[in-house]
Amino acid sequence: MPNDDLAAEIQELKKARNAVVLAHYYVDGEVQDVADFVGDSLQLSQAAARTTADVIVFAGVHFMAETAKILNPSRKVVLPDLAAGCSLAEGCPADRFAAFKARHPDHYVISYINCSAAVKALSDCICTSSNAERIVRSVPADRPILFAPDRNLGAYVAKQTGRELLLWRGSCVVHETFSERKLIALKTRHPGAVVLAHPECEPQLLALSDFIGSTSALLQHAKASAATSFIVVTESGILHQMRKSCPDKEFIPAPPEANCACNDCPFMKLNSLEAVHRALDTLAPEITLDEDLRVKALAPIERMLALSV
């Protein structure tokens, strides 16, 4: 079916199902354009917390849809492709994380939202890249902190807050792909460009950046800035909203080390227009959760939402 027809049918199915489509900035532009709400991880969990729809179709990855289900036990939550995982979540299995935590029983546990429900259930508070600094600052200064699973975000937040964080050594396959050498070359070719980077990037890339923030913060900065040219060091999907919001500005994706499209998250890109259409049509695959686990994972998410603006 042509994309226009698929998009029109998606709108019809949303009405028929009383469904809402939530999309992360990293999915393809055509999928962002059929969504009811597009945002970063924090905004999407806030949107999931306030929806009154019967069905949530989550155009994102598994941990995001799972978070929506934790917040909405009575609503149907559908992820267009169950294979949409995340290297950060997969690199932090709950049994190994529980053993790590047990070796540091005095630590306050902050987990980045990019983790499984089982890891959330072992955490004191969840954070996203939008509020990680705020969450860390909310912990009393004399309490040691264990931060998981992203070592790059953890190292960045430790630097910003002056707090020592015990880090789980996970990383994002997409944000680790950017080349320092190629970024330096790109900056030389575009001396007036502002470099925008996500804190999941490695420290040497962040050191070359002018502004560091979550996807929504990068978008806001691009909109508010007087500059007209930007080098974007994060997943390529965000360029769609940047170009839509600022048609007169230039956005240049930062190059990966290899000659590949490695700055596309392969998990996010599983959310094709066809997959979203199928999910609305069949209301599958559905996210389900053990109720005991859901309740344990809910408490640290609610703590995060209460501490967020």
Gap between the Cα atoms of 18 and 55, Å rounded: 6
Residues 6+ apart with CB under 8 A from 32: 23, 25, 38, 59, 237, 240, 241
**Beta-carbon contacts of residue 208 (< 8 Å; ≥ 6 apart):** 180, 183, 184, 187, 195, 197
Residue (149 or 255) nearer to ligand 13P, CB? 149
Amino acid at 96: R
Give me the least distance between CB of 216 and ligand 13P, in Å please.
7
* Residues near ligand SF4, by CB under 6 A: 26, 61, 86-88, 114, 172-174, 235, 265, 267-268
Using an 8 Å Cβ cutoff, are 221 and 196 in contact? yes
Nearest residue (CB) to ligand 13P, 40 versus 81? 40
Binding at 215: pick from ligand 13P, ligand SF4, none (beta carbon under 5-8 Å per type):
ligand 13P
Q: Applying CB under 6 A, does 200 fall inside the site for ligand 13P?
A: yes
Beta carbon of residue 261, minimum distance to ligand 13P (angstroms, whole number): 16
Q: Which does 267 bind (CB under 5 to 8 A by kind): ligand SF4, ligand 13P, none?
A: ligand SF4
Instruction: Spell out, one character per residue from 204 to 233, where the chain touches ligand 13P: x when CB under 6 A holds, - when not.
Output: ----------xx------------------
Nearest to 127 by CA among 60, 39, 40: 40
| Binder of residue 173, out of ligand 13P, ligand SF4, none (CB less than 5 to 8 A by kind) | ligand SF4
Based on the shown chain and the rule CB under 6 A, indicate whether residue 129 belongs to the binding site for ligand 13P. Answer: yes
Interface with ligand 13P, residue 114, by CB under 6 A: yes
Chain mean position to CA 168: 18
Residue 279: HSE in the Cβ half-sphere, 13 Å Cα cutoff:
30
Point out which residues bind ligand 13P (CB under 6 A).
40-41, 114, 128-130, 172, 200, 214-215
